[in-house]
């Protein structure tokens, strides 16, 4: 490797290390800078993601059904609108009804939790399993329950009243959606522009390699996200159907929770399942067996039938690294980081294997000489 190449690598590594160190040492400052300045770029970020996820659908209509670009984009938007209208008209009202019922049942549920807590403490005391005073333990647990119940109520009121935040967020999304449509209309121009910028920054050879990496990363992201959406929708639907047929309470709400939770591998399903168990036990404990049955069937279909065929090895990572990526992504960026942490780590793995392959090629060339 020439001196310029080594110097370039050292500079890049140094910059990355400085950024990482600054992030952890000045987390509050960086967050403030992001919210004040970088936040204005949110619509542009939305635009690129919208264009990436809509592009395969538009390409399908354009190439397979021989539609022109504008018509393909129009059909894609029409299908998305139909999907949103269907959700708002059919699913959203039922979820809203369940949430409203839950909100007004919170005081009743709190009393029920207090009753179960006292019974459990009595049982543990009878078995000699309580080390600290039972009265202190009971007061501590009940205090936690009351605080969290009040927190849930406050969150519900805040979500309804915070109209300004929702308006700003939706405005940014619609601006991003419009920009994404413009990117799709002039797809070739933007792809060519980005490729030229990359080659200008990294040079012709490195630029070509970086473009190949971006294309592979895009494929990984699309396969992961689309696969998770299909699989999660199936998990939620199966959970809903089993609970509906067995008359288990909160069937639709649980189905939606399981579907959304399943978007985050392993961790999301556990959290959603725990919430569902909590709701059913408080509402109708005798139906808990049917909830477990619904979750078991849905997860079995995900793990053994649908998941391997649709998602497959899209990210090419084992269970250990998937969980690590979720934990790190969640600690840095919350729920969004938990979801995108998996494909992000898959991209890091891709970089690792590319670097390893290049080093092996250099060793082989040296051995031949």
From 65, 102, 14, select the one nearest 283 (Cα to Cα).
102
CB 195 within 8 Å of CB 211: yes
pLDDT for res 1: 47
From 297, 255, 296, select the one nearest 276 (Cα to Cα).
255
From 109, 111, 106, select the one nearest 157 (Cα to Cα).
106
Query: Rounded to two decimals, what is the model's pTM?
Result: 0.68
Phi, psi angle pair for 37, to nearest 5°: -115, -55
pLDDT for res 357: 76
CB 315 within 8 Å of CB 340: no
Question: 2: burial class by Cβ within 10 Å (0-12, 13-18, 19+)?
Answer: exposed
Residue 264 falls in which region: left (phi positive, over 0), alpha (psi -120 to 50) or beta: beta
Average pLDDT across the chain, whole number? 76
pLDDT for res 332: 72
CB 172 within 8 Å of CB 42: yes
- Give CA torsion, residues 108, 109, 113, 114, to 10 deg: -20
Q: Give the Cα separation of 161 and 159 in Å (integer).
A: 6
| Cα separations in angstroms, 262 against 226, 238, 302 | 13, 12, 9
pLDDT for res 124: 72
pLDDT for res 75: 93
**For the chain, which residues make up each domain, given as ranges?**
203-361
From 188, 210, 213, select the one nearest 198 (Cα to Cα).
210
**Greatest Cα-to-Cα distance within the chain, rounded to the nearest angstrom:** 80
From 73, 99, 80, 41, select the one nearest 252 (Cα to Cα).
99
Q: In tens digits, what is the pLDDT along the chain, a chain of 369 residues?
A: 455 555 555 666 666 666 666 555 555 665 666 666 666 778 888 898 899 889 889 988 988 888 888 999 999 999 999 988 887 777 777 777 777 777 777 677 777 777 777 777 777 777 666 665 666 666 666 666 666 555 555 555 555 556 666 677 788 889 999 999 999 998 888 888 888 888 888 788 888 888 888 888 888 888 888 888 888 888 899 999 999 999 888 888 889 888 888 887 777 788 888 888 888 887 788 888 999 999 898 888 777 766 665 555 555 666 677 777 777 877 777 777 777 777 788 778 777 777 777 777 776 766 666
pLDDT for res 331: 75
Q: Give the Cα separation of 80 and 54 in Å (integer).
A: 10
pLDDT for res 289: 92
């Amino acid at each position: 490797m020439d001196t310029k190449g080594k110097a370039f690598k050292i500079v890049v590594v140094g910059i990355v290390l400085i950024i990482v160190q600054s992030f952890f040492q000045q987390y509050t400052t960086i967050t403030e800078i992001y919210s004040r300045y970088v936040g204005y770029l949110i619509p542009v970020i939305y635009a690129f993601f919208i264009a990436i996820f809509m592009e395969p659908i538009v390409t399908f209509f354009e190439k397979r059904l021989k539609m022109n670009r504008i018509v393909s984009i129009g059909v894609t938007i029409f299908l998305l609108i139909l999907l949103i209208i269907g959700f708002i008209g059919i699913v959203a009202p039922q979820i809203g009804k369940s949430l409203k019922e839950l909100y007004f049942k919170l005081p009743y549920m709190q009393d029920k939790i207090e009753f179960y807590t006292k019974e459990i403490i009595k049982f543990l005391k009878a078995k000699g399993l309580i080390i600290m005073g039972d009265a202190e333990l009971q007061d501590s647990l009940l205090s936690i329950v009351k605080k969290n119940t009040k927190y849930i109520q406050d969150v519900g009121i805040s979500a309804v009243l915070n109209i300004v935040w929702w308006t700003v967020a939706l405005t940014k999304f619609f601006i991003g959606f419009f920009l994404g449509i413009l990117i799709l209309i002039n797809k070739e121009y933007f792809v060519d522009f980005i490729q030229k910028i990359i080659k200008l920054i990294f040079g012709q050879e490195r630029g070509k390699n970086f473009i190949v990496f971006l294309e592979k990363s895009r494929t990984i992201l699309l396969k992961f996200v689309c696969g998770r959406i299909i699989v999660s929708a199936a998990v939620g639907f199966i959970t809903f159907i089993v609970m509906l047929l067995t008359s288990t309470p909160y069937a639709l709400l649980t189905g939606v929770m399981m579907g959304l939770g399943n978007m985050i591998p392993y961790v999301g399903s556990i959290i959603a399942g725990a919430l569902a168990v909590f709701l059913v036990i408080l509402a109708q404990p005798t139906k808990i067996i049917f909830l477990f049955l619904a979750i078991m069937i849905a997860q079995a279909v995900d793990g053994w039938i649908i998941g391997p065929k649709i998602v497959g090895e899209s990210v090419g990572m084992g269970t250990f690294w998937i969980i690590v990526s979720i934990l790190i992504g969640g600690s840095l960026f919350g729920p969004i980081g938990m979801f995108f942490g998996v494909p992000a780590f898959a991209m890091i793995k891709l970089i690792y294997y590319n670097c390893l392959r290049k080093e092996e090629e250099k060793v082989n060339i040296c051995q031949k000489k």
